[in-house]
Amino acid sequence: MKLAIMQPYFFPYIGYFQLMNLVDVMVIYDNIKYTKKGWINRNRILVNGKAEYFTLPLQSDSDHKNIIDRKISANFTKDKQKILNKIKEVYRKAPYFNECFSLVESCFNYNNYNLFDFIYNSLKSTAEYLSIRTKFRISSSIEIEHNLKSAAKVKEICKKLGAEIYVNPIGGLKLYDKKDFSISGIELKFLKTKDIVYKQFNYEFVPNLSIIDVMMFNSKEEIKSMLNEYELI
């Protein structure tokens, strides 16, 4: 069984969904600390040929709280409409705007403002849209010692769920060692996304934007093909 473990990201880039599509089970962390400078509650879309961030605003709270304990701002009703209007403005002439925007709008209108639940819903909804059948598990529901860190925690989750292969994005090359995992009976692989290029109106291509951008410009069949454009190292 192949397994991956990721933080919850809001409409992440296509590499996240390549990883999701590759494995049998994907564990989503809910009981780790929220990080301000990561991709948990923000991503990028194409605005006039350049990448521009959109962000889920959060209630002010301690930076030491876990993702599951953070909440989206009470003012989000107003803020989300600004974001949706921006997405509508910049993508309204994209070839797959109608079906993609319907998905995006439904995710933004999800009525649970718990940060983890909100993002988790968007990940499951996007996976369904892309016909990804991978099973999801929430990290806190797995009976392990949750105070473990880094590779030790990953290996314990793999053992608990019976995974023979653990797949991590290519950035994990500096974090995890194949020999270390092998000693524990786990084969460690790294997924490296190939260069994926598609037409973004008449602009010079801007890579690694939110999956929203991919879905606006490409059919589900084309995206299905893109999900296999990676190397396993």
- What is the pLDDT, as a whole number, of residue 171? 94
What's at 90, amino acid-wise?
Answer: V
The tens-digit pLDDT sequence of the chain (233 residues) is 999 999 999 999 999 999 999 999 999 999 999 988 899 999 999 999 999 999 999 999 987 899 999 999 999 988 999 999 999 999 999 999 999 999 999 999 999 999 999 999 999 999 999 999 999 999 999 999 999 999 999 999 999 999 999 999 999 999 999 999 999 999 999 999 999 999 999 999 999 999 999 999 999 999 999 999 999 99
* Structure confidence by residue, pLDDT tens digits, 23-69: 999 999 999 999 888 999 999 999 999 999 999 999 999 878 999 99
> Domain spans of the chain?
2-232
Average pLDDT, the chain: 97
**Angle, to 10 degrees, between the axis of helix 115-129 and the axis of helix 14-22?**
70
CA 87, CA 104: separation in Å to the nearest integer?
A: 9
- What is the pLDDT, as a whole number, of residue 36? 86
How many CA atoms, within 13 angstroms, populate the side-chain half-sphere of residue 118?
26
Both tokens of 69, joined, read: 């304990």
- What is the pLDDT, as a whole number, of residue 97? 98
What's at 125, amino acid-wise?
Answer: S
